[in-house]
Chains A and B, each alone.
Chain A
Amino acid sequence: MKDTIDKIRSMFDGGDADEKREDLVFVTVPATQVVDCLGYLRDRAGYRHLVMISAVDYIERGVFQLTYLLHSYEKQNDIGIRADIGRDDASMDSIHRLWAAAQVYQRELREMFGIDFPGSPRVDEPMLLEGWEGIPPMRRDFDTKKYSEETFFPREGRKTADPATHMAEKNYASEEQVKRSVKDLVRGRRKRKGNDG
């Protein structure tokens, strides 16, 4: 694991390793080096399994952070390759030639975050959002509540209550009442005077 990390840092301008667990380490590399780095990990370092690709919208920094998580069956550990790409005109090199399955993740990222992967098969076909207009919904500047209120028809009378107090007030009688009714049941005197919860 340590050798691999050192190799990534020397060969692909990797940043500091972020060690989450003994068997899970994240390394940040420049976005232009990601495909080469993943190719190296797959062919030379034994990380043959692509677990997932995910994106995080860091709107404060103006970037999407992409994470490519790889798994090695021989070494039984995971390496995550992170890369930052700009939020405006977000575009990334496709890795569908390394793992054909990556096209599904890339389609999803295109649909939900608006990150383009030129050359990836069927990347412009929507999976869920047929005919979606406007900014992609997983971006953090998309206000899902506002969109829902404008688009759908909210039913009147929706209110919020604290679950603990609500349950205590509505659903359960006080402890003493419960105790009393249990006592009554045991003694066989079923006084049903409105104190059955």
Chain B
Amino acid sequence: MSDEIKKVNGIDEGFDEISEYFCDARPSPVSPSANRIVRNFQNWAQANSIFILGFGTGCGAIELRPLFTARYDVSRYGLFPRPTPRQSSLFIIGGYASIKTMKRIIRSYEQIQNPKFVMGLGSCTVNGGMYWDSYNTINRLDHYIPVDVYVAGCMPRPESLIAGFDRLKELIMEGKAEGANTYAENFDWYKNNQKKIIKNWNMPEYNW
């Protein structure tokens, strides 16, 4: 931040953006409702209003566009793209994730409010795919953020994605899509793995 902006906004010299602007509290697991009827209702509601984060992280994002066209029309299934992480619940990692993108993926994932789900799209998220020996792309997505559903293929067709959405809905209905809680419970392990690849960690520990 330049000195002029600081002066205009009345900010002191010792101002630390990261600690002032972001919350550093660790995430804590949220147990589902004890009441079976409430729990089932919540799961049903979540499964039928999945908002997709419009963040194409790799080449696989090209398969997301046809989903919203008249031919596949994914809004029939209760899915809809949203522009910001704050409004969305499903994060689709489209194909290879380079380290630079991984940093943005982690930030976006942490900004999504609960309940949140992750779909790994394409072989690259499963085992690295054709970029398995690259110096700049990760091999296994589930070591950095929890993944609920994988859609294999290079690239998977939009039909495969719709099948993946169906599977995700089943998991949510059964109450098994608890990625956010897994993340909170194994927070140190995930952070450890993330920091192993992101060398210049110039962002908050946990920033929602």
Contact = CB atoms under 8 A, between A and B. Distances in A.
Contact of B136 (A131, A137, A153): A137
Nearest to A155: B127
A130 B199 contact: yes
Contacts, number: 57
Contact of B135 (A144, A154, A155): A144
B100 A142 contact: no
Given A130-B103, A142-B135, A151 B199 contact: no
Given A128-B100, A155-B127, A148 B135 contact: yes
A145 B133 contact: yes
Interface residues of B, number: 23
A152 B198 contact: no
A42 to B, nearest CB: 34
A148 B140 CA distance: 11
Contacts of A148: 128, 132-135, 139
A162 interface: no
Given A152-B138, A153-B139, A130 B132 contact: no
Contacts of B99: 129-130
Nearest to A149: B133
Given A130-B199, A133-B199, A154 B134 contact: no
A84 to B, nearest CB: 26
Interface residues of A, number: 19
Contacts of A155: 126-128, 139-140
B128 A131 contact: no
B93 to A, nearest CB: 15
Contacts of B137: 152
A66 to B, nearest CB: 23
Interface of B: 98-100, 103, 126-128, 132-140, 143, 193, 196-200
Interface of A: 128-133, 137, 142, 144-145, 147-149, 151-155, 158
Given A148-B139, A152-B128, A154-B132, 10 more contacts: A128-B136, A130-B103, A132-B199, A144-B133, A148-B128, A148-B132, A151-B135, A152-B140, A152-B197, A154-B127
22 contacts: A129-B100, A130-B99, A130-B198, A130-B199, A130-B200, A131-B199, A131-B200, A132-B199, A133-B199, A145-B133, A148-B132, A148-B139, A149-B133, A151-B135, A151-B197, A152-B128, A152-B139, A153-B139, A153-B143, A154-B140, A155-B139, A158-B132
